[in-house]
Structure 1
């Protein structure tokens, strides 16, 4: 007895294959799409951090030039108050350096108008050539404009918002404290000269001398507080940093500045400030020591900040490139999964000519077992029918 022919359910098998393919593709897409989105967001964040750090680096470049200009202007103020000629060569050199930086970075940092106003004020005081108390006021206004410009650079370049503890405190010292220490040291010495190094309640003082003496005491105290705050900021940075060069590069210069500051504003209740001409000479010498130590410390501090920011930028750049590469690879994976889910498309005539799964012999094992079971069931039905027919004949 021959086994009856049964048709293989090719449409059903093809449907199951399509469903498996779609399910696998959708699962891959479901896994990869969130991964791609996460990488894209990470890359976007890295881009923002890179922009932030690069703006900070521009601010450091600008601040480095400004510190030297503040020092040169404070020297000009002291010379004018004493009635001496102003060193215009040093002042012009420092001014030219800031002009070059502003021409390159002024637009991005938004310093153009402030720098123009500062230049106008500096030209005006040089043209007038005041001396004595008038010079103290006129040059003091120029120094105030320079300090305001320094603060504006810190704001627009994000330097005052630096996220790292060590860099933040070094920036605070170099950008905020050091320029003020330089300016205040000059004012202490100038007010000492204007008051004749007398105490504000000394007998026989003119009204102008008495006012200068009182202002000198206040400015000396302000200078001492600023120098102490600078010292604290840098020592916090030394304790928080992972840099091997920050402490060694700045510590000796910081000690030198502290010694000079203690000479200009001795610590303790008894200031120990000399009176009369000796006091004027002492304060002028201490002012020069403070200026030199502060300028040296500022140059080293801004250099260390630039190095720390450069290291940070390199790390962020590497992370950004890795994130972009992984995002691209994941996106390719999503496209591949989507293609698998869609399946290759064939023209109708190709589908008609395609060989059946029976001919290729590559159907799933489960499908073959189902078909064999169906064939066995069909054969058993035929056997039962034959037996029933034989029994009927015997009965007849």
Structure 2
């Protein structure tokens, strides 16, 4: 029974570890679902601040409150509390920032970078970046790296283009460089995002992943193309085209983010269910093994007792047979001594003749 118990404990410990890791990843996905609206709200806040609106957008207020609630519940497990506290403090200071457009832009860029770092913290603390399942790995790479970078870079591209459109000659050279960097970053983010989503769709057993991703990815890419046309890098930006493109892109990006998070959550739920079934099977096999071992032990013990009884009976019979062997007197016969027998002086001699002879 000891080897059986040892094997069971090893399987159970491995299964428990996998279940704990999966549960942590599920918590990470829940947190990521709250961060996506936060990044979009930060982009909106940046655009409004550059247009002279100092008040915090309602979308940003709601997004911060939602992340705060999740961090209070999951922050200790995900190790995000410290980083979120710093980001939240920086977000609270944004409405009070004044000065030139470049100063306001740089302040929002700093906050945006902190938000991207929070994505990385979740990605590493939950070990989503080390997941062995191919489709989950590509999806987490899209959600934690490509999507937030794409949102951030598109926002910076659009706002840099708008700043360039209203800049004087002295400012235009620096803004051209800033816009060029943003355009390049957008192209890189979108290319990586597309490749990762296509890889996830090609290497998955999910029946819904491919179909859901393709349509939403197409809408997202059309929004990116429209934003690039509005930025018109190397020429004069088209502000009206940028505004329309940002609205279209925001809708497409929200839909794509929702679908991607849902698909990854479904894959993790399926893994959790499979591990739960394995645990039940392990307990069932242990129970069957113990019962079989007990039955085998009882049967072996009973068999040993029967064999022992048969051996004892055989020894008793052997002792009785030795006492009635050849040369032994019949049962019930009197055993006489050597002086009890009379000498034989002739088979037909009478008692008188024997008496005369003696005389």
| Structure 2 length-normalised TM | 0.82
- Give the structure 1 partner of residue 41 of structure 2: 72
Of 305, 312, 321, which aligns to 2:280? Answer: 321
Deviations along 1:234-275, one digit per CA (max 9) or x if unpaired, are 111111111112122222111111122233347xxxx96473
Shift of 1:159: 1.9
Does the C-alpha gap of structure 1 residues 277 and 312 become closer, same or farther in structure 2, counting only changes over 3 Å? Answer: closer
1:1-396 matched pairs, under 5 angstroms: 32-84=1-53, 88-130=57-99, 132-196=101-165, 205-206=169-170, 208-265=171-228, 273=233, 275-278=235-238, 280-331=239-290, 364-365=309-310, 367-369=312-314, 371-373=316-318, 375-380=320-325, 383-384=326-327
Query: For the Cα contact (< 8 Å) 1:33–1:334, is it kept in 2?
Result: no
Query: For the Cα contact (< 8 Å) 1:36–1:331, is it kept in 2?
Result: no
Does the C-alpha gap of structure 1 residues 142 and 34 become closer, same or farther in structure 2, counting only changes over 3 Å? Answer: same
The CA distance in 2 between the partners of 1:118 and 1:272, in whole Å, is 33
Query: For the Cα contact (< 8 Å) 1:253–1:296, is it kept in 2?
Result: yes
| Structure 1 length-normalised TM | 0.75
Shift of 1:326: 3.0
The CA distance in 2 between the partners of 1:209 and 1:273, in whole Å, is 12
The CA distance in 1 between the partners of 2:130 and 2:307, in whole Å, is 66
Gap regions ≥5 residues in structure 1: 1-31, 199-203, 344-356
Give the length in aligned residue pairs: 334
Which structure ranks higher in relative contact order (CA pairs < 8 Å, sequence separation ≥ 6)?
A: 1
The CA distance in 2 between the partners of 1:240 and 1:378, in whole Å, is 88
The CA distance in 1 between the partners of 2:154 and 2:87, in whole Å, is 21
Query: For the Cα contact (< 8 Å) 1:56–1:158, is it kept in 2?
Result: yes
The CA distance in 1 between the partners of 2:93 and 2:156, in whole Å, is 20
The structure having more radius of gyration, on CA atoms, is 2
Does the C-alpha gap of structure 1 residues 179 and 375 become closer, same or farther in structure 2, counting only changes over 3 Å? Answer: same
Query: For the Cα contact (< 8 Å) 1:70–1:182, is it kept in 2?
Result: yes
Does the C-alpha gap of structure 1 residues 194 and 34 become closer, same or farther in structure 2, counting only changes over 3 Å? Answer: same
Deviations along 1:204-246, one digit per CA (max 9) or x if unpaired, are 831x321121121122111111111111111111111111121
Determine helix, strand or coil for the equivalent of 2:122. helix
Determine helix, strand or coil for the equivalent of 1:276. coil
Gap regions ≥5 residues in structure 2: 345-359
Shift of 1:67: 0.8
Query: For the Cα contact (< 8 Å) 2:54–2:96, is it kept in 1?
Result: no
Does the C-alpha gap of structure 1 residues 293 and 86 become closer, same or farther in structure 2, counting only changes over 3 Å? Answer: farther
Query: For the Cα contact (< 8 Å) 2:201–2:213, is it kept in 1?
Result: no
The CA distance in 2 between the partners of 1:235 and 1:375, in whole Å, is 92
Cα RMSD for the two superposed structures? 3.4
Query: For the Cα contact (< 8 Å) 1:177–1:230, is it kept in 2?
Result: yes
Does the C-alpha gap of structure 1 residues 123 and 362 become closer, same or farther in structure 2, counting only changes over 3 Å? Answer: closer
Deviations along 1:28-55, one digit per CA (max 9) or x if unpaired, are xxxx321221111111111111110110
